[in-house]
């Protein structure tokens, strides 16, 4: 078989694996959006079947031989060349998948399917004890998976590497150590300032009009409705079944009119990335986003750097006054802008403001590493959660529903995922600084509802590369340096010192 024939065969197998992944994502989307609770067992079996087929394809001897043969023909797998990059990523994926036994994959899929339904019920019933056995089982399975990748500096490293290739636990700890004292200092300055009134937000806004607003803003940002849709879910998320089908979900809160809008802007940022991946890499090993932190940088950029900016408020506020005249008729633009940026330590991560959000992530990171190290037990989590929430943010949940049970991630087995949220915040500010330096006219265009230059810049500098570059290399290629907390801290301090006038 010639090299060209081997590459063709490799891409055929990779495409089949990609399609199986899309089917699995569709099953997961349906479970969270449409499926009745009674379907949980059947859905688990369906998901396990697809996962088994994907595992067999992605760890087959045929695939391994093809990758090995093609890799042997490449002098440098790190070369800045499409072919080298494709084989490098294919080899990395194969080596990782082949380390985990098939029966462990099936066990994990069944465990997480059952855990998700248990989490939904436990969260509704404020009953952590019913979820605890599932949580213990999932962390034990993840610990077993991590052990297959020894040697490592920390058992969290292999799990973090799934979401953020090249990143280590020690890297995250160093970044958080630099970030935390500066954010605590900012929060202290805000707490000593006069608090902002946002009572105009904290009332009931009709859900139908909220839905119209979110749909309108997603479209203005550039979301392609011919290749997407929006639905409701308990925990907002974005999922992709292919370049022609990228879906977002949101949720509405009865006493917070901005929650669904910020959620929609956030998920639109994710969806724009997925819709902008390069067609030439589709269904190859390079056909995915670079990493979860890069993905999060896109959602955070649109939600915060755009969506919570003064310039965007100048565009958004008249639209909202037209939709909600009874709520906003007597509110000024400045009151609106300051109100939607009010900083207030909160119990719920997804409702947290920019200045406090990273503290939520640091808590979860510490719990995950502690559970994997064995220094923490699942049964201790409610007390640990409440104690550290009080220590970090000065608030204590009244119940576990608003505390340790609030996130879907652990029931889905996504251990190692949480740090990417904070890393995404940092990267978003780095990208924004670079973008606006190159196109200083962007803020003025935002006041007119023109976001085309933002999307075009992201398409050119981030989206089109798909996973051709490792995330740390991509950040360096775009910004000239590594992941750096300084631009994010500059952004927060400049913005909130102006808003809170200190």
442 in helix, strand or coil? helix
Q: Is the pLDDT of residue 10 over 90?
A: yes
pLDDT in tens, 22-78: 999 999 999 989 999 899 889 989 998 998 999 999 999 999 999 999 999 999 988
CA distance 282 to 269: 20
pLDDT in tens, 288-310: 999 999 999 999 999 999 999 99
CA distance 132 to 122: 9
Q: What is the mean pLDDT of residues 445-464?
A: 98
Q: What is the mean pLDDT of residues 438-453?
A: 98
In the chain, CATH 1.10.1370.30 covers 169-500
Percent of the chain with pLDDT over 90: 93
Burial 146-169 (b: 16+ CB within 10 A, else e): beebeeeebbbbbbbbbbbbebbb
CA distance 53 to 20: 8
Identify the CA nearest to 146 among candidates 364, 469, 374, 361.
Answer: 374
pLDDT at 44: 87
Question: What is the band of 217 on the pLDDT scale with cuts at 50, 70, 90?
Answer: very high
Q: Which of 122-136, 243-257, 261-275, 460-474 has the lowest mean pLDDT?
A: 243-257
Q: Is the pLDDT of residue 390 over 90?
A: yes
Q: Is the pLDDT of residue 254 over 90?
A: no
Residue 103 designated active-site: no
pLDDT in tens, 132-158: 999 999 999 999 999 999 999 999 999
User: Does the domain formed by 169-500 have CATH 3.30.70.330?
Assistant: no
Q: Is the pLDDT of residue 243 over 90?
A: no
Question: What is the band of 1 on the pLDDT scale with cuts at 50, 70, 90?
Answer: confident
Q: What is the mean pLDDT of residues 247-257?
A: 92
Active-site residue, selected from the candidate residues 28, 132, 267, 303: 267
**pLDDT, the chain, mean:** 95
Question: What is the band of 234 on the pLDDT scale with cuts at 50, 70, 90?
Answer: confident
Q: Is 78 exposed, middle or buried (0-12, 13-18, 19+ CB in 10 A)?
A: exposed
Considering 25-39, 74-88, 252-266, 308-322, the range whose residues carry the highest mean pLDDT is 308-322
By residue count, the chain amounts to 502
pLDDT at 336: 98
CA distance 429 to 433: 6
């Amino acid at each position: 078989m010639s090299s060209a024939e081997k590459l063709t065969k490799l891409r055929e197998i990779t495409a089949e694996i990609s399609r199986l992944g899309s089917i699995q994502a569709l099953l997961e989307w349906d479970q969270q959006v449409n499926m009745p609770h009674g379907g949980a067992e059947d859905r688990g079996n369906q998901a396990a079947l697809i996962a088994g087929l994907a595992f067999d394809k992605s760890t087959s001897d045929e695939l391994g031989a093809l990758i090995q043969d093609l890799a042997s023909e490449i002098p440098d797998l790190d070369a800045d060349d499409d072919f080298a990059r494709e084989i490098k990523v294919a080899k990395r994926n194969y080596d990782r998948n082949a380390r985990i036994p098939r029966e462990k994959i099936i066990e994990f899929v069944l465990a997480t399917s059952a855990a998700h339904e248990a989490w939904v019920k436990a969260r509704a019933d404020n009953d952590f004890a019913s979820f605890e056995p599932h949580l213990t089982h999932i962390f034990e399975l993840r610990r077993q998976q991590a052990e297959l990748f020894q040697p490592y500096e920390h058992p969290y490293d292999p799990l973090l590497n799934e979401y953020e290739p090249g990143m280590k636990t020690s890297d995250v700890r160093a970044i958080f150590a630099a970030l935390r004292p500066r954010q605590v200092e900012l929060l202290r300055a805000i707490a000593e300032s006069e608090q902002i009134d946002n009572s105009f937000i904290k009332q009931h806004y009709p859900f139908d009009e909220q839905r119209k607003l979110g749909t309108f803003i997603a479209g203005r940002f550039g979301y392609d409705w011919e290749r997407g849709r929006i639905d409701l879910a308990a925990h907002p998320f974005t999922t992709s079944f292919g370049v022609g089908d990228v879906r977002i979900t949101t949720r509405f809160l009865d006493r917070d009119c901005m929650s669904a809008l910020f959620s929609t802007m956030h998920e639109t940022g994710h969806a724009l990335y997925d819709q902008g991946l390069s067609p030439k890499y589709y269904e190859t090993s390079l056909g995915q986003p670079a990493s979860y932190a890069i993905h999060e940088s896109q959602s955070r950029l649109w939600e915060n750097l755009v969506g919570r900016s003064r310039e965007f408020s100048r565009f958004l506020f008249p639209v909202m006054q037209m939709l909600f005249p009874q709520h906003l008729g007597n509110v000024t633009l400045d009151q609106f802008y300051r109100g939607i940026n009010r900083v207030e330590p909160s119990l719920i991560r997804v409702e947290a403001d920019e200045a406090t959000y990273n503290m939520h992530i640091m808590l979860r990171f510490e719990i995950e590493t502690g559970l994997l190290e064995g220094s923490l037990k699942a049964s201790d989590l409610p007390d640990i959660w409440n104690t550290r929430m009080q220590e970090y943010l000065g608030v204590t949940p009244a119940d576990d529903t608003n505390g340790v049970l609030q996130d879907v991630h652990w029931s889905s087995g996504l251990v190692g995922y949480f740090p990417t949220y904070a890393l995404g915040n940092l990267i978003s500010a780095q990208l924004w600084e670079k973008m606006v330096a190159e196109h200083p006219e962007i803020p003025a265009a935002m006041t007119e509802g023109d976001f085309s230059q933002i999307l075009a810049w992201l398409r050119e500098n981030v989206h089109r590369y798909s996973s051709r570059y490792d995330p740390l290399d991509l950040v360096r290629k775009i910004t000239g340096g590594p992941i750096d907390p300084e631009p994010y801290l500059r952004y927060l301090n400049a913005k909130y010192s102006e808003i809170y006038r200190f």
